[in-house]
Amino acid sequence: MSGNRDKLGIGERFLMLGLPANEYVELRDGRHYYVPGTRIGLDVLIYAFRRGKTPEAILQAYPSIGSLAKVYGAIAFILEHPQAIESYLQDQVALWKKFREEHPIPDEMLERFRRTQEELTRRSA
């Protein structure tokens, strides 16, 4: 199975596990899970929940989710599929790494960011 896993594309490994989308989680582009009717990725909810945010706090931070029931439904999906969720997060990290490699931040932008951080630090001190 691991040989086949290496041949599969990012996202396909998650789908291979047979995780169905439901009324609380939808699949887009064959590889990204979202809260239906929003632009909020499942990974956003996963990380917020793992940082200890309550469902109420998650809804407050992302009101476009629409209801507490949707937050609880997405969390239930996450908790019911822990191994698949870990695989999905690994794939999302790999996608982000690939994107950053293909689209590096220009040095002048990084320098402006560093200067802004220093200025904000001075102001708050």
pLDDT digit string (tens) for the chain, length 125 residues: 444 444 444 444 444 455 676 889 998 888 789 999 999 999 999 999 999 999 999 999 999 999 999 999 999 999 999 998 998 899 889 988 998 899 998 999 989 999 999 999 998 87
Q: Which domain holds residue 33?
A: 2-124
HSE-up of 26 (CA within 13 Å, CB side)?
Answer: 11
74 CB-near residues (< 8 Å, 6+ apart): 24, 25, 35, 42, 45
The structural domain count of the chain equals 1
The token duo for 42 is: 């499942």
Taking a C-beta distance cutoff of 8 angstroms, is the pair 87, 13 a contact?
Answer: yes
Kindly state the DSSP code that residue 63 receives in the 8-state scheme: G
